[in-house]
Amino acid sequence: MSLQPGDALTTHNFGLQIDGIMVEYLQEVSSLSMEQDVIEYQQVSADGKPVIKKLPGVKKAGECTVTRGATQSATFSEWIKESIDGNMGSARKNASIIMMDYQDNPVKRYHLRNAWCNKVEISAVKAGDAAAMTEQVSITFEELVIE
């Protein structure tokens, strides 16, 4: 069943592409954000009244966090390694977070231009614990394009 007018996207049906290759396993994408400065401009009108205008300023780089099971996913693991090793020529990649409808058709895309991994955090491990090991990866990017 595809989305009908007024239907909202569900949060459980998504994917992450890195340079056009779909990452196999993801648990969560969170804190996707990018911001822009706001310039407040004050002037006086012809009749002497103060006027306040707000204008868009400089865009800032953005970030998001991806949580995935600690798997042998070669594409993602290599991207993390290239970023941590400082090989920025190969670490900067274009990534896309893709939201899908109930039939797995792409409905909305968040394109992350020149993205790379700037932090990796491994979940706690504990003897006798029955839990999956995860990696939380922070991804920084230069530009966010939404389609």
Helix ranges restricted to H, the chain:
74-84, 88-91
Question: Is residue 6 one of the residues assigned to a domain?
Answer: no
- C-beta neighbour count of 85 within 10 angstroms: 10
Residue 1 pLDDT:
52
- C-beta neighbour count of 21 within 10 angstroms: 14
Question: Is residue 20 one of the residues assigned to a domain?
Answer: yes
Mean pLDDT value of segment 8-13: 78
Of 96, 29, 106, nearest in space to 68 by CA: 29
Residues 66-109 pLDDT 10s: 998 888 778 888 999 999 999 999 999 999 999 988 888 888 99
Question: Is residue 95 one of the residues assigned to a domain?
Answer: yes
Question: Is residue 1 one of the residues assigned to a domain?
Answer: no
pTM: 0.83
Mean pLDDT value of segment 107-134: 93
Question: Is residue 2 one of the residues assigned to a domain?
Answer: no
Backbone angles phi, psi at 118, to 5 degrees: -115, -5
CA distance 92 to 47: 53
Contact 80, 71 (CB under 8 A): no
Q: How many domains would you assign to the chain?
A: 1
Residue with the larger pLDDT of the pair 36 and 10 = 36
Q: Indicate if the pLDDT at residue 65 is higher than 70.
A: yes
Residue 85 pLDDT:
95
Range of the domain at 21: 14-146
Question: Is residue 5 one of the residues assigned to a domain?
Answer: no
Report the CATH number that the domain containing residue 50 is assigned in CATH: 2.30.110.20
Question: Is residue 18 one of the residues assigned to a domain?
Answer: yes
Mean pLDDT value of segment 29-46: 94
Question: Is residue 29 one of the residues assigned to a domain?
Answer: yes
Residue with the larger pLDDT of the pair 24 and 112 = 112
Residue 97 pLDDT:
94
